[in-house]
Amino acid sequence: MNHKGLLIVISGFSGAGKGTLMKKLLEDYEQYALSISMTTRAPREGEVDGREYFFSTREQFEDKIKQGGFIEHAQYCGNYYGTPKDYVEKQLEAGKDVILEIEIQGAMKVKEQFPDAILLFVMPPSIAVLHQRLVGRGTETEEVINQRLQRAEEEAVGIEGYDYIIINDDLDTCVKELHELLTKTHEAIQTQYNPVNYEKLIENIRTELTSLVKGEK
Ligand code: 5GP
């Protein structure tokens, strides 16, 4: 499959600051489109259906799985989460760089289907900061916080499967560096797949080969 846009997967422990990072990246740069996932988890205070997530029942979610409506889906702490296919494909075709903010199982499934996808893992500067952020958020019960910390421990095993690790310390610096990294990746992929960029090189190789075959040198 040859899409114009870049597929970007961002994962990270709950509380690593992925959400804030993505929000700022989208505010500062126009070329990114954020995919909105579907989930069976209950909305948190302030979350709006169709903005943070498409909230659904387990039945609706399972129907969509059967219809092949997801690029990937996974279970996380007892709830379903999935990336709807339509939006992502449309945006990629339109040349947008599409961001999927998903957990590790989903990330690995995306990499299988889209080998050119770039996988980023966002880390907090320390585990103490991670804990503080989860508690400070004030939206989760202690039980949920513990579940998420346990999940973080499990996910830490798979970090090697990602292409880059992003340390989310200072937000502004992090967004800028992230954008630079993505721009470079975009250019590298375009160069890699676009023979026009290698015109001169290909021409030289052909000329040299012809000379060699003719025994000129
Ligand atoms: P939260 O409940 O905190 O919003 O999200 C829990 C986890 O689910 C996060 O790690 C988030 O990145 C992940 N997640 C959100 N949407 C999707 C999705 O569509 N697919 C997968 N695999 N994970 C998702």
Pocket test of ligand 1: the residue of 51, 102, 120 to mutate, having most ligand atoms within 8 Å of its CB, is 102
What's the pLDDT tens digit per position in 148-204? Answer: 888 888 888 888 899 998 988 899 999 999 999 999 988 887 776 666 666 777 777
Reported as a pLDDT band with limits 50, 70 and 90, residue 41 is: very high
Q: What is the mean pLDDT of residues 73-94?
A: 94
Query: Listing from the earlier edge strand, what are the strands of the sheet with 53-55?
Result: 53-55, 37-39, 79-84, 70-76
> What was the pLDDT predicted at 7?
95
Prediction pTM value: 0.83
The pLDDT score that the predictor gives to residue 198 is: 67
pLDDT at 126: 85
**Domain map (residue ranges) of the chain:** 7-35+97-216
Candidate from 37, 99, 140 with most ligand 1 atoms within 8 A of CB, to mutate = 37
pLDDT average, residue stretch 48-76? 97
pLDDT at position 85 is 96
Q: Is the CB of 41 under 6 A from ligand 1?
A: yes
The more confident residue out of 3 and 173 is 173
pLDDT, greater one: 199 or 95: 95
Determine the distance separating the centroid of ligand 1 and the alpha carbon of 133, expressed in angstroms.
Answer: 17
Calculate the average pLDDT of the chain.
Answer: 89
In angstroms, the CA 187 to CA 193 distance is: 10
35 C-beta closer than 6 A to ligand 1: no
**DSSP letter, residue 176:** H
Q: pLDDT tens for residues 121-148?
A: 998 888 888 888 888 888 888 898 888 8
The alpha carbon of residue 92 and the mean position of all alpha carbons in its chain are separated, in whole angstroms, by 13
* Mean pLDDT across 110-120: 93
Instruction: Give the CA distances from residue 65 to residues 82, 118, 159, 204, in Å, rounded to whole numbers and listed in that order.
Output: 9, 24, 27, 51
Which pLDDT score, from 0 to 100, does residue 1 have?
A: 46
15 lines ligand 1 (CB under 6 A): no
* CATH topology assigned to domain 7-35+97-216: Rossmann fold (3.40.50)
CA distances from 108 to 118, 142, 177 (A): 11, 29, 24
